[in-house]
């Protein structure tokens, strides 16, 4: 089981994340993303969330997959959604959407005069606006904590209905804590048998110190075949395979 | 917990059935213990309480000490093990051979119980010590329940359990051949029922608590001092309203009760004070208490108690020494210093803490804490009189830990409560947490679900276990066939008898019996064995031959059998015969008696006694499998990876959703940069 999971994670790094909500919209997993969308919207009722950040305690927990699919499912409701890849250590967005990673968020941050339109791309099939990392910088934390980052986020907020930001793991680097202070809400991804419960606890403590509003957690990679009850219900509604 | 005990008794019964069948019983006993250790670990793992990991580690460390105590004696004898444990071992052996002793009141209860176990399964000290380990971990579990009944904060509960689990004295006491584990266990039960009584003021609980205390004091009378606290609580403390009430009625009762106690102490202390055996009256008790300290770490040696007045003055001083020694001015070296810091400090700390926080933090739990203190004072006074060296004190005060730890823990908890009074939010949170904890703890049958999870782990790893078994088989067969040399044994029989001419009466038979013992010694003396080596010309040292030879005398018979084990059957027989001949010569020449005859010469027996091939292979397989199981268990404990979505809720977050695991084929189908165009075309349908 573990071997197989590692295989997936490895391929994630070379091939990008799965776009299951785009390519298999009736799959059980896409159905779950729709549930997540509803739950987020409920928690957004009285607040005006414009920017959401996706993070996790450690690596390979499915941040990129969750953020890409969540963004695309959000855009289904005729919303103008921008997906930003802020993981400047291991960028994945350009792989996921088959983009050239020559211009991106780092270009916008280092060169404030650059036109936004030259960095943001539009993906037709996912109905998403995308902002990849661009050239990998030597000093991501300084870049993210710079004033221009705050300005950029504000500018983008005025242009889009929703911004989803994919970030590096909380415990590995300080990047996500920096980004967390700029966004309206954070979603925490926890992957079965990959995340360590101690690490999760530590990461959430760290986020709480920064005074971040954590919208909630998404449990990823649940092995539904070995469970009963609620999961059996999910399994029964897997139309795609019927 | 019950499951563990049931399986233990089941194992004893099984072993008593197997006993006549199996030849190498000691190895089987070790194996049986290892198997039960595994069973217990699994059962403990399936516990649904937060401290289960502490209990497991406490259990494993006690097992380690147990094996070290039995097999590591050549390297280091554990403190407190040694002459005392051998005394208990021997008296247990005595009881097992003559069952009549179980009714004899001068034999201690512990010897009776161990004697009975020995009777059933033979003199296997490992079983009795293992029983102590089980009692030790049961005590930890009971302590945890006590904390729970006292509504202690979860973190503090954790520390309380930690203290008892890893206090060196409690580890040692519950792994060596001493009785201490029994009274400690019953004291903890007594405290448990006492806390029950606090919660529901049901008389039955109080009576059960007293009964448990009585059982504990049957093992060791000193703990009866705890009754002071219980009696006080019963008379003056109204658990329902949490108030101390001193009415005329209760005071009259207490006067009558103390009068009765005084009479009992004066007239019956021969039976009540079972610990001070052979003491008939109070004055002698004082003598013994002051002159008892033959051991090294004596304190207050000059303090003599001669009359009642002295008793009143010195008893409290002795009680303080009992709890706190070795005190700094009595230190003789590094070991005393270490003892002080790993043992006395705990008691000192709790008592100082009491005085320091008495007026600050003790809130609604004040009365309960005071009752605990009375228990401590009562038993301290009694133990203090009987003990006057630090080593013994350490051993005896360990029995009061089930009182001491709840005492300290309640005070610490009160402090937390006091601090949280200022933050109303915290209190609400606290009570919520308590509610949640209670739900977790009382969900006893929820354990079964966890249990099946463990079965699942074994099911999943059955292949690994198989490999473990096969590896064990290969290693053990390699050892049996290539490394172990086959051993053969031969026996020669001798008979000790007076020549027929002499009158056979009871006294000559008696003489022969005592001679038998002498002969047994002579056979294995150096000059006989040296002569044998010279005669047979065998390449063996005297020491080796000594080890290879065993002399058996059967009970109530005049037969002496000499058994020799050697690497060839002929050699064994030759040696046995040579020893017999030389021995007969030796007796005739030196003792000038002519009453030993060789009855039966040893004949070569070509079937080896060792290695016992099927047995060794079986042991190999079993050991291989157990090593794998241990590995799996340790891996499971140390595995902190997330197993269920409950973690999100437990972190105080909203669960937004559960994304099932993506299979590899689905991933390949949905990743964009493989066959990009076809995928884009195929994604026509979209739900909006």
Distance in Å, alpha carbon of B425 to nearest chain A alpha carbon: 18
| E strand segments, B20-142 | none
Q: Which range scores top for mean pLDDT: A183-187, B381-385, B520-524, B651-655?
A: A183-187
B267-272 mean pLDDT: 48
Q: Does B656 touch chain A (CB under 8 A)?
A: yes
- Percentages (nearest 5) of helix, strand, coil residues in chain B: 70, 5, 25
Q: At what angle do helices B25-45 and B2-18 cross, to 10 degrees?
A: 160
Determine which of A127, A212, A218 to mutate to test the interface with B (most B C-beta atoms within 10 Å): A218
- The answer to whether the Cβ–Cβ distance between B642 and A197 falls below 8 Å is yes
Comparing B145-149, B341-345, B681-685, which segment has the lowest mean pLDDT? B681-685
Residues 196-235 of A with CB under 8 A from B: 196-201, 204, 214-224, 231, 234
B563-579 mean pLDDT: 86
- Percentages (nearest 5) of helix, strand, coil residues in chain A: 45, 15, 35
Angle at B210 between CA B207 and CA B216, to 5 degrees: 145
Contact present, A97 and B670 (Cβ < 8 Å): no
Contact present, B45 and B636 (Cβ < 8 Å): yes
Query: Between B655, B660, B673, which is nearest A16 by CB?
Result: B673
> Rounded to 10 degrees, what is the CA torsion of B76, B79, B82, B84?
-170
On the CB side of A148, CA atoms within 13 Å amount to 13
Q: What is the mean pLDDT of chain A?
A: 84
The dihedral region occupied by B475, where left means phi > 0, alpha psi between -120 and 50, and beta the remainder, is alpha
Q: Beta strands A121-123 and A81-85: pairing type? A: unpaired
Q: What is the mean pLDDT of chain B?
A: 76
- Tell me which DSSP letter residue A191 carries: E
Contact present, A49 and A42 (Cβ < 8 Å): no
Q: What percent of chain A has pLDDT over 70?
A: 87
For residue B594, pLDDT beyond 80: no
Closest residue of chain A to B650, computed from CA coordinates? A201
Give the Cβ contact number of residue B452 at 10 Å: 11
Distance in Å, alpha carbon of B285 to nearest chain A alpha carbon: 58
What is the pLDDT, as a whole number, of residue A191? 92
Residues 581-640 of B with CB under 8 A from A: 640
Q: What is the DSSP string of B196-208?
A: HHHHH--HHHHHH
Residue B423 binned pLDDT confidence (cut-offs 50, 70, 90):
very low
Give the Cβ contact number of residue B538 at 10 Å: 15
Number of H helices, E strands in chain A: 12, 7
CA distance B62 to B167: 11
For residue B362, pLDDT beyond 70: no
What is the pLDDT, as a whole number, of residue B555? 65
CA distance B319 to B386: 10
Q: Which positions in chain B touch A11 (Cβ < 8 Å)?
A: 667, 671
For residue B573, pLDDT beyond 80: yes
- The answer to whether the Cβ–Cβ distance between B641 and A194 falls below 8 Å is yes
CA distance A17 to A23: 12
- The answer to whether the Cβ–Cβ distance between A219 and B655 falls below 8 Å is yes
On the CB side of B251, CA atoms within 13 Å amount to 4
Q: Which positions in chain A touch B643 (Cβ < 8 Å)?
A: 192-193
Determine which of A21, A126, A197, A224 to mutate to test the interface with B (most B C-beta atoms within 10 Å): A197
Scan for tokens 């194996």, then name that residue: B31
Contact present, B353 and B347 (Cβ < 8 Å): no
A49-53 mean pLDDT: 90
- The answer to whether the Cβ–Cβ distance between B657 and A193 falls below 8 Å is no
B193-218 mean pLDDT: 87
- Produce one character per residue of B314-327: b if its CB has 16 or more CB atoms within 10 Å, e if not: bbeebbbbbbbbbe
CB-based burial label for B61 (10 Å; 0-12, 13-18, 19+): middle
Residue B435 binned pLDDT confidence (cut-offs 50, 70, 90):
very low
Q: Where are the alpha helices (DSSP H) in B387-461?
A: 390-397, 401-421, 424-442, 446-460
ipTM: 0.88
Contact present, B575 and B583 (Cβ < 8 Å): no
CA distance B316 to B328: 19
Angle at B525 between CA B521 and CA B527, to 5 degrees: 145
Angle at B188 between CA B413 and CA B368, to 5 degrees: 40
B570-599 mean pLDDT: 83
Model-level pTM?
0.56
CA distance B653 to B635: 29
Distance in Å, alpha carbon of B686 to nearest chain A alpha carbon: 6
- Tell me which DSSP letter residue B590 carries: I
CA distance B533 to B565: 15
CA distance B309 to B677: 104
Residues 10-69 of A with CB under 8 A from B: 11, 15-20, 22-29, 32-36, 39-40, 43, 62, 65-66
Cis peptide before B336, with omega less than 30 degrees from 0?
Answer: no
Which has more confidence, B276 or B176? B176
Comparing A41-45, A179-183, B212-216, B447-451, which segment has the lowest mean pLDDT? B447-451
Size of interface A-B (CB pairs under 8 A): 165
For residue B233, pLDDT beyond 80: yes
CA distance A30 to B670: 11
Element holding A194 (H helix, E strand): none
Closest listed residue to residue B399, CA positions, set B678, B189, B636, B662: B189
Q: Which residues, at least 6 apart from B218, have a Cβ–Cβ distance to it below 8 Å?
A: B109, B274
For residue B355, pLDDT beyond 50: yes
For residue A146, pLDDT beyond 60: yes
For residue B429, pLDDT beyond 50: no
Which token pair is B124? Answer: 């296997």
What is the pLDDT, as a whole number, of residue A114? 86
Closest listed residue to residue B335, CA positions, set B258, B390, B405: B390
């Amino acid at each position: 089981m573990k071997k197989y999971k590692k295989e997936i994670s490895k391929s994630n790094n070379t091939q990008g994340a799965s776009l299951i909500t785009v390519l298999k919209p009736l799959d059980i997993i896409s159905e779950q993303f729709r549930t997540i969308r509803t739950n987020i919207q409920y928690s957004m009722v009285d607040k005006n969330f414009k920017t959401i950040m996706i993070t996790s305690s450690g690596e390979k927990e499915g941040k990129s997959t969750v953020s890409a699919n969540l963004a695309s499912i959000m855009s289904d409701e005729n919303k103008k959604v921008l997906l930003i890849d802020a993981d400047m250590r291991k960028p994945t967005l350009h792989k996921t959407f088959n983009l050239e990673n020559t211009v991106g968020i780092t270009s916008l941050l280092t060169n404030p005069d650059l036109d936004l339109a030259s960095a943001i791309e539009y993906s037709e099939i996912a109905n998403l606006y995308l902002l990849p990392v661009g050239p990998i910088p030597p000093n991501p934390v300084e870049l993210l904590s710079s004033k221009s980052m705050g300005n950029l986020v504000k500018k983008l907020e005025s242009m889009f209905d929703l911004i989803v930001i994919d970030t590096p793991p909380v415990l590995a680097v300080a990047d996500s804590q920096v980004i967390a202070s700029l966004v309206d809400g954070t979603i925490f991804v926890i992957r079965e048998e990959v995340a360590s419960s101690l690490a999760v606890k530590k990461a959430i403590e760290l986020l709480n110190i920064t005074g971040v509003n954590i919208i909630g957690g998404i449990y990823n990679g649940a092995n539904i075949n070995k469970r009963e009850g609620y999961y059996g219900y999910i399994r029964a509604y897997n139309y795609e395979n019927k | 917990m019950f499951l563990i005990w049931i399986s233990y008794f089941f194992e004893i019964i099984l072993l008593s059935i197997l006993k006549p069948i199996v030849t190498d019983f000691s190895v089987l006993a070790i194996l049986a213990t290892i198997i039960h250790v595994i069973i217990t670990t699994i059962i403990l793992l399936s516990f649904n309480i937060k401290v289960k990991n502490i209990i497991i580690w406490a259990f494993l460390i006690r097992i380690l000490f147990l094996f070290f105590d039995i097999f590591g004696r050549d390297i280091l004898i554990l403190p407190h093990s040694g002459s005392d444990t051998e005394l208990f071992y021997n008296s247990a052996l005595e009881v097992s051979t003559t069952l009549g002793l179980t009714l004899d009141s001068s034999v201690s209860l512990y010897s009776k119980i161990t004697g009975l176990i020995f009777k059933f399964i033979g003199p296997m000290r490992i079983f009795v010590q293992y029983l102590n380990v089980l009692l030790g971990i049961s005590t930890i579990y009971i302590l945890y329940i006590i904390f729970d009944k006292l509504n202690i904060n979860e973190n503090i509960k954790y520390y309380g359990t930690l203290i008892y689990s890893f206090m060196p004295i409690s580890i040692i006491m519950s792994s060596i051949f001493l009785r201490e584990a029994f009274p400690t266990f019953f004291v903890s039960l007594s405290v448990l029922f006492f806390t029950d009584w606090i919660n529901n003021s049901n008389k039955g609980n109080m009576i059960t608590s007293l009964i448990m205390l009585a059982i504990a004091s049957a093992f060791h009378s000193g703990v009866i001092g705890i009754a002071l606290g219980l009696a006080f609580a019963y008379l003056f403390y109204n658990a329902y309203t949490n108030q101390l009430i001193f009415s005329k009625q209760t005071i009259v009762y207490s006067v009558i009760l103390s009068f009765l106690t005084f009479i009992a102490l004066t007239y019956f202390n021969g039976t009540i004070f079972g610990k001070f055996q052979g003491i008939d009256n109070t004055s002698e008790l004082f003598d013994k208490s002051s002159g008892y300290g033959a051991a090294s770490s004596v304190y207050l040696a000059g303090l003599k108690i001669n009359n009642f007045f002295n008793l009143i003055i010195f008893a409290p001083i002795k009680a303080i020494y009992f709890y706190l020694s070795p005190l700094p001015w009595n230190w003789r070296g590094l070991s005393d210093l270490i003892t002080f810091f790993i043992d006395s400090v705990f008691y000192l700390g709790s008592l100082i803490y009491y005085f320091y926080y008495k007026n600050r933090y003790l809130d609604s739990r004040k009365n309960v804490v005071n009752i605990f203190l009375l228990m401590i004072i009562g038993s301290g006074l009694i133990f203090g009189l009987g003990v006057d060296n630090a080593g013994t004190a350490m051993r005896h005060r360990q029995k009061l830990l089930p009182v001491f730890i709840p005492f300290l823990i309640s005070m610490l908890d009160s402090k937390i409560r006091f601090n949280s009074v200022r933050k109303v939010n915290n209190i609400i949170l606290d009570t919520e947490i308590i509610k949640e904890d209670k739900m977790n703890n009382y969900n006893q049958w929820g354990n079964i679900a966890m249990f099946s999870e463990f079965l699942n782990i074994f099911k999943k790893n059955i292949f690994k276990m198989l490999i473990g078994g096969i590896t064990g088989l290969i290693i053990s067969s390699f050892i049996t066939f290539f490394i172990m040399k086959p051993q053969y044994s031969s026996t020669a029989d001798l008979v000790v008898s007076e020549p027929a001419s002499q009158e056979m009466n009871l006294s000559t038979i008696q003489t022969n019996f005592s001679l038998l013992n002498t002969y047994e010694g002579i056979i294995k003396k150096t000059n006989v064995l040296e002569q044998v080596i010279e005669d047979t010309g065998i390449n063996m040292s005297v020491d080796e031959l000594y080890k290879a030879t065993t002399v058996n005398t059967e009970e109530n018979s005049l037969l002496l059998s000499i058994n020799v084990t050697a690497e060839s059957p002929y050699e064994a027989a030759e040696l046995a015969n040579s020893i017999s001949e030389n021995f007969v010569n030796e007796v005739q020449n030196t003792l000038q008696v002519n009453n030993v005859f060789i009855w039966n010469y040893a004949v070569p027996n070509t079937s080896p006694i060792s290695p016992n091939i099927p047995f060794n292979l079986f042991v190999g397989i079993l050991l291989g499998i157990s090593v794998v199981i241990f590995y799996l268990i340790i891996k499971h404990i140390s595995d902190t990876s997330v197993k269920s979505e409950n973690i999100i809720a437990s972190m105080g977050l909203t669960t937004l959703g559960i994304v099932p695991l993506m299979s590899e084929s689905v991933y390949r189908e949905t990743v964009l940069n493989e066959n990009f165009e076809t995928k884009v075309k195929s994604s026509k349908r979209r739900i909006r």
